[in-house]
Amino acid sequence: MPSWRKGKRIGYCLNDKKKKKLNFQGFEDLCRQRGYEVIEIDLAKPLCEQGPFDVIIHKLSDLILESSYDSQSHQLIHDFQTYVETYSSIILLDPFPAVRLLLDRFESYRLLQDFQKQDSCIFSPPYVELNSGTGREAVARIREQGLTFPLICKTRVAHGPSSHEMALIFNEEGLGEVSAPCLLQSFVNHDAVLFKVFVVGSSHFVVRRPSLKNFPRGESARRSIFFNSHSVSKPDSCSRLTELDEATLEPTPPSDNVICRAMRGLRSTLGLSLFGVDLIVEKQTGRCAVIDVNAFPGYEGVPEFFSALLNHIETLLESHEQAARARVLVAEYSLHQQASHVDKAQESTHDTNLRAPWLANSLETPKSAPAESSFFTFAVLPAVLSRH
Ligand SMILES: Nc1ncnc2c1ncn2[C@@H]1O[C@H](COP(=O)(O)OP(=O)(O)OP(=O)(O)O)[C@@H](O)[C@H]1O
Ligand SMILES: O=P(O)(O)O[C@H]1[C@H](OP(=O)(O)O)[C@@H](OP(=O)(O)O)[C@@H](O)[C@@H](O)[C@@H]1OP(=O)(O)O
Ligand SMILES: [Mg+2]
Ligand SMILES: [Mg+2]
């Protein structure tokens, strides 16, 4: 067994629904077969009584969301965060600030807009944020930004049952029915096909799902359509809203190149390992649009999820161990340098019996050490490590 696997403990914290949907027991079994200890974290007990942990997997979106208005949840999240900061070697999948960002569509869509400026391989449809106010203000904002109908209205909060309640709006009158805080996004025709990209570390998996049908572009007299997103884009969704009115060819999935580039960029922009990205292909242009990003999604239709997750964990454990070993070697090298400075100093001060003040404490680092250590880290250490 490699040393980075030996005695390692993987903690997890998922609600019953998530455990059941993922059949998480299968993952526990896989981890135990490879020699890991797996611990289900009980949030009612202090973490220090349940640790130590090398890795923690969680979907604490409910609690993170509640922590902004509920003091008990705030305390739990605060204690959890303090614990992982205290034991900084713990690998947390995923860090709370990165997860928190995805719970707020205002924040995540702003980030997607910035992302498309850096990388034009995908785009994020234009939108306006409505913090408060009436339909009249919504009309003004839409006109100001030059957005055209139809629009899709999404709640600001991106997680939880009510976050999936949406509306399709076809005219200014329909804007009177939206309730802030929400976001109004340009509707992109995409032939009713959604590509869900499920990311696990550096791997990703693409799954095809049903999606909303095409609608004529421009303002129309149609009444707004209210729907729940889970009734249109789950594997077994069966809705009139996903039935195309016209016969069309199957849309071509986004190319591997586009998906790889976009996921690589999003992974580092978001600072997440476990997330899902919803992509659609614009009918008129063939461009690929990102319309949603979810933290730790369902991975439904990805039979490789557990093995990909464990591989990702093992890659992280191995690189953590390498980094720790490198730190030890740098420290040893630094001590060795100090010792040789001592020898030299003793030789040169032998006659007078004088010693440099910093030599009084042999653990004190001489001023030249950082430069030498960094030379050691970048030039010598890789060669040393490759021999270990
Ligand atoms: N800009 C858009 N243009 C066209 N269709 C869209 C757009 N945004 C969303 N949709 C459709 O609406 C559905 C729900 O939107 P979205 O993915 O943002 O909601 P969600 O509730 O966050 O979904 P999830 O369950 O994946 O978290 C999508 O699956 C897609 O069918
Ligand atoms: O079960 P969870 O609470 O994690 O639900 C997530 C759901 O997974 P599920 O498929 O297991 O329902 C995801 O579906 P897929 O993208 O994978 O289709 C997506 O809807 C997320 O937005 C949900 O996260 P939440 O809205 O709750 O933050
Ligand atoms: Mg979605
Ligand atoms: Mg979502």
- Within 13 Å and on the Cβ side, how many CA atoms surround 375? 7
Q: Which of 197, 158, 154 is nearest to 61 (CA)?
A: 158
Q: State the distance from the centre of ligand 3 to the C-alpha of 248, rounded, in angstroms.
A: 23
Helix H or strand E segment including 315: helix 305-348
What does DSSP say about strands 288-295 and 274-281: parallel, antiparallel, or unpaired? antiparallel
Q: State the distance from the centre of ligand 4 to the C-alpha of 32, rounded, in angstroms.
A: 32
Report CA 40 to chain centroid distance, whole Å.
Answer: 22
Q: Which of 102, 89, 99, 155 is nearest to 127 (CA)?
A: 155
End-to-end CA distance of the chain: 15
CA nearest ligand 1 atom 8, residue? 291
Distances (CA, A) of 185 to 28, 170, 182, 240: 40, 12, 10, 21
Report DSSP letters for 255-295, one per residue. Answer: PHHHHHHHHHHHHHHHT-SEEEEEEEE-TTT--EEEEEEEE
Strands, sheet with 274-281, edge to edge from the N-terminal-most edge strand: 203-210, 193-200, 274-281, 288-295
Q: How far apart are CA 381 and CA 388, in angstroms?
A: 11
pTM for the whole thing? 0.88
159 lines ligand 2 (CB under 6 A): yes
Q: What is the pLDDT along the chain (388 residues), one digit of tens a residue?
A: 888 898 999 999 999 999 999 999 999 999 999 999 999 999 999 999 999 999 999 999 999 999 999 999 999 999 999 999 999 999 999 999 999 999 999 999 999 999 999 888 999 999 999 998 888 899 999 999 999 999 999 999 999 999 999 999 999 999 999 999 999 999 999 999 999 999 999 999 999 999 999 999 999 999 999 999 999 999 999 999 999 998 888 899 999 999 999 999 999 999 999 999 999 999 999 999 999 999 999 999 999 999 999 999 999 999 998 888 888 898 888 888 888 877 776 766 554 443 333 333 333 333 333 333 444 444 444 444 444 4
φ, ψ for residue 232, nearest 5 deg: -115, -30
232 lines ligand 1 (CB under 6 A): yes
Q: State the distance from the centre of ligand 3 to the C-alpha of 292, rounded, in angstroms.
A: 5
334 lines ligand 1 (CB under 6 A): no
Q: How far apart are CA 128 and CA 367, in angstroms?
A: 55
> Which residues pair with residue 236 across a beta bridge?
none
User: Which residue reads 């003793």 in tokens?
Assistant: 346
94 lines ligand 1 (CB under 6 A): no
Q: How far apart are CA 123 and CA 116, in angstroms?
A: 5
295 lines ligand 1 (CB under 6 A): no
DSSP 8-class letter at 236:
T
User: Which residue reads 């009436």 in tokens?
Assistant: 134
